[in-house]
Structure 1
Amino acid sequence: MVIPSKGDEDSSFTVSVNEDVGKTVRGKLWTRQEKKQWSIALFMGCSALYACRTVMPLCVMAISKDLEWDKTESGTVLSSFFWGYTLTQFLGGYLSDRIGGDVILPIAATLWSLLTFWTPVLATLVSDKHMGITILVISRVMLGMCQGFHYPGFTSMIAKKVSEKERSFTYAFIAAGSHLGTLMCGSLGSLLLERYGWESAFYACGIGGLAWMLFVRYYLIGQYRQKYIPELDSMVVAEKMAARPKEKTSSVPWLVLFATPAFWSLIVGHFCQSNAFYILLSWLPSYFHENYPSAKGWVFNVVPWLVSIPSSIFSGWFADHLISKGYSVTLVRKLMASINLAGVALFLILLTYTTTYASSLFCMAMCICCSGFHNSGIAVNPQDIAPGSAGSVFGIMNMAGAIPGFVGVYMAGHILEATHSWNAVFNQTAMVCLFGWVVYSLFGTAKKIV
């Protein structure tokens, strides 16, 4: 962004600022090297985030046995994470749009890593069962609140730092880190669970999150700032900046968005996808433990998430490839959403007819595989319709998407407690996915709204 100047001195300052500071401070796009560094760092951040998120579903059977929980109590603890996750989505996007995701993410990471690390202590802090569950539920709510800043934060960064033609792949690649985190938690976490007890899995995930935070804060962000502000005299900069006209900060025109069917189709599609994803994320280990008790945990906790990483990255590459070939962005987003929602529904229905461990594992893996296409479809859509406020819009969308995290996950536990039927859970989840697919296919768009 070039700012008009009145003299040679101001012109010189403008060029200097644009070259040395403006590339980051004024919203310049990342260079190829910067995009590579940040993409890998944010990919690993999503991995650490999801390792800390999924360690409870991984260990819930062992914890339930030790602490004598029933299915409803397990569902309460699992779903409580999303009570907090819902609360901070918009705030995370708003703050990231205003002060930068690179400021918000390390602070939040410190908190959710520490909460994960101390979970075993909190779970056994008191001898009374109900009080112990209450303490753990509160800690899970706080964990959700802290993690609620992450996705809106990096969504805001991508919208500001990556060109439209590269956003699908960049977002899908970064978001694929969530599957790696689930995979690492399922594999290494299962080994720690079997050999050293469920407490060790929480300690390992918490330490991993802190390690990522320290790397990003003191290496990547520090290096990034030093590159652009190495020799500038802060007093001169302050004096020149004070003489320039202040930039107007535009607010998000929510009334325009709320009156647009495309925005609501985005909300509905994300809600339905999240409902399926969170139910599978939370109950997949329990499903295999109950139906195939002799199966190895490191297999069914690894295989479904192993295929999701290449599917998510491929979907991003495929979406950008189609856009570069001239296909409309709206068509591409709807195609990715169709593979996601209709595909998940199809394999959930097929799962109800399976009778063998291999076929069940295949259907579950394909459900997770299809979920990877969400990252290049509906999930990246806020950057299309509101590129200047993508963090805030994504926050609203993800707030709605977090609701099934506590409602859907809890209801799944309640249904299982009442009916002992996994088919009832899978069929209901499939119908929700099909509803979201129809709504987004009819009303979704990638055209800029605000």
Structure 2
Amino acid sequence: MSTAEVKENGWATSQISDGDGLGPGWRFWRRRRYVVAFMAFLGFFNVYALRVNLSVAIVAMTTNVNQTLDNGTIIVTRDFDWDSTARGFLLSSFFYGYIFTQIPGGWLASRIGGNRVYGIGIAATALLTLVTPPVANVSYYALLTIRVIEGLFEGVTYPCIHAVWARWAPPLERSRLATIAFSGSYVGTVVSLPLSGILANQIGWPSVFYVFGAVGLIWFVAWWIIVKSGPEEDSYITQQELKYIQDSLGATSNKDIVHPWKKFLTSPPVWSIVMAHFSENWGFYTLLTQLPSFMKDTLEFQLEKTGFMSALPYLVMAIVLQFAGHLADWLRSKGILTTTQVRKLFNCGAFISQTIFMLLAAFLLSPAGSVTCLTIAVGLGAFAWSGFSVNHLDIAPQHASVLMGLSNTIATLPGIISPAITGYIVQNKSASEWQIVFYMAGLIYLVGAIIYGLFASGERQSWAKEEIEIEMPNKSEQCYSNSTLEVDVP
């Protein structure tokens, strides 16, 4: 079995030709780290299914329908009389809570285990989703409150998964493991958007919340049983894989880590990640919350077809994300590009392409043209996720969960601002109003590309290196004396 030495952030990492000696890579179930990635994939599937179902359900909840009275009179009615502005605030209310638990979630995950906080966050959101229909019938403000609380619980998910990867992901597998997990977000969107449309049409909008809430709780039980905080706690992991992970990462634990907040807030690479995350989420959340309405109002798709067409961009992204993650790690492991070059190339290339296709969608505004351009724009975002989304682990792995919490806090603002702004802009549901929405998203992508290209880094930062005291042999005295060295602590 051949091995190769690969320099990664100053460390010589022994990369075994077949990974960890457990056979072909496609047998993922033999590798517990890939079982964790698959379960995280299903977790993010639920995260987004629970988040986006309202985007389709709200169309059914506010659509006019014919109702026949007992005397035979036909009247036009709808379940909820919410205007465009009210719908915009309702769709963005989730993020009012989501933004507040990003950093606390990362901090908590670094101490008690990312797997626990991740699971509880999704389970609580699923439970609240189950009670959404009766709450909606109580009042608009009661529903608004429930969505805010759901956001509070889901806010911990992204920071927590970085705490999981800090203990499970070998450095040269970070991109692929992270993108496997993150792709669940888009598969969840792909499934939940059309399925929500079918459920709303065939059974009624309350079924949308009952189905996805129940699925989320079932996943939680499986996650709690299968996934452990670290590989050393997993009774089913092989000794080969455990040694491979531990040799790659060194000793890891949920010890009390001192987070250098001043260094975080004054670090250009950190702020380049924050801006990239903000830019990607602006376009993503704009489409995630508004695409069903755009399809129905401007492209004149029916509700059931709206769900399928709205899901198409995320299907493409889920597929491309797998390719992008593997390509990023391959380029790094072969020494073709450095980590910094890979992150910048993938992120900036995606953003510039997304800018172009967002602007094309604004000009075309035809069913075929708009769907094609938006599908390509969203799909190319997969390369950006192989750039900024794992960059926290490159520059400061021991602080990655908190850094993800920081970047995702700022990146949550688009989820609050974008739907509200779109609600104000799109008053008459005209094509020209939607053009403004797409122009704005394209401009923000372009700004994100410039900032990330200038300031991003794939190297471990100086403030992420700690001084530890180790024993070194003193040749002159043939005894041991203590010396202090600065080393990279994973």
TM-score tier (shorter)? 0.7 to 0.9
CA deviation profile, 1:356-414 (whole Å, cap 9, x unmatched): 31111111111210122232111111111110110011000100000111012211111
- 2 CA distance for matches of 1:101 and 1:366? 33
Q: Find the structure with the greater CA-based Rg.
A: 2
Give runs of aligned pairs for residues 333-348 of structure 1, distance below 5 A: 333-348=343-358
* C-alpha contact (below 8 Å) 2:348/2:384 kept by paired residues: no
Match of 1:379 in 2: 389
Residues 237-295 of structure 1 deviation map (CA, whole Å, 9 limit, x = unaligned) = xxxxxxxxx99733111212222212111111111111111111000100000122245
Q: Which runs of 5+ in 1 are unaligned?
A: 1-29, 126-131, 230-245
For residue 321 of structure 1, what is the aligned residue in structure 2?
330
1:375–1:144: structure 2 CA closer, same or farther, 3 Å change rule?
same
Task: Give 2:117's aligned amino acid.
Answer: I
Hey, what does 1:60 align to over in structure 2?
58
Are 1:159 and 1:167, in contact at CA under 8 Å, matched by a contact in 2? Answer: no
Distance 1:175 1:159 in 2: 15
In structure 2, the partner of 1:169 is 176
Partner AA of 1:60 in structure 2:
I
Q: Are 2:235 and 1:227 aligned?
A: yes
C-alpha displacement of 1:63: 1.7
For residues 226 and 302 of structure 1, the distance between their equivalents in structure 2, rounded to whole angstroms, comes to 36
1:391 to 401, 410, 413: 401
3-state DSSP of counterpart to 1:249: coil
SS in structure 1 at match of 2:364? coil
**What is the 5 A alignment of 1:243-262?**
249-262=256-269
Inter-partner Cα distance in structure 2 for 1:107 and 1:444: 33
CA contact (8 A) 2:98 2:155 kept: yes
Distance 1:446 1:264 in 2: 13
CA contact (8 A) 1:158 1:167 kept: yes
- Whether the 8 Å contact between 2:347 and 2:384 is mirrored in structure 1 is yes
Residues of 1 paired with 2:148 and 2:314: CA distance? 25
8 Å CA contact retained: 1:183, 1:306: yes
* Counterpart residue number, 2:249: none
Q: CA deviation at 1:222?
A: 11
Q: Aligned equivalents of 2:412 and 2:59: distance in 1?
A: 23
Question: Which TM-score applies when normalising by structure 1?
Answer: 0.85
Q: Could you say which residue in structure 1 is the equivalent of 2:479? A: none
Deviations 1:156-214 (A, max 9, x none): 11122111110001101110000110011022222111101111111111011101001
Q: Are 1:136 and 2:146 matched, yes or no?
A: no
In structure 2, what is the equivalent of residue 436 of structure 1?
Answer: 448
Over the matched positions of the two proteins, sequence identity in percent amounts to 31
SS in 1 for 2:85: helix
1:423 counterpart = 2:430 = no
Higher relative contact order (CA 8 A, sep 6+): 1
Alpha carbon RMSD of aligned pairs, Å?
2.2
User: Aligned to 1:251, what secondary structure does the other structure show?
Assistant: coil
Question: Is 1:269–1:378's contact at 8 Å kept on the other side of the alignment?
Answer: yes
* 1:178 counterpart = 2:189: no
Work out the CA distance in 1 between the residues paired with 2:254 and 2:364: 60
Assess if the C-alpha contact under 8 Å between 2:85 and 2:424 holds in 1.
yes
TM-score (norm 2): 0.78
Q: Name the SS of the counterpart of 2:363 in structure 1.
A: coil
CA contact (8 A) 2:320 2:380 kept: yes
Q: Equivalent of 2:201, from 187, 194, 209?
A: 194
Q: Distance in 1 between matches of 2:408 and 2:211?
A: 28
Pick from 78, 94, 115 the counterpart of residue 91 of structure 2. 78
SS of structure 1 residue aligned to 2:256: coil
Aligned match of 1:113 in 123, 126, 146? 126
Establish whether residue 99 from structure 1 lines up as the match of residue 107 from structure 2: no
Q: Is the 8 A contact 1:180 1:309 kept in 2?
A: yes
| AA aligned opposite 2:128 | L
- The one-letter code matched in structure 2 to 1:433 is Y
Equivalent residues in 2 for 1:27-46, closer than 5 Å: 33-46=31-44
Distance 1:343 1:220, change over 3 A: same
1:13 aligned residue:
none
Which structure shows the bigger proportion of residues in strand conformation? 2
Q: 1:103 to 1:248 in 2, by over 3 A?
A: closer
Q: Is the 8 A contact 1:64 1:74 kept in 2?
A: no
1:69-95 superposed Cα distances (whole Å, 9 cap, x missing partner): 111000000011111110000011111
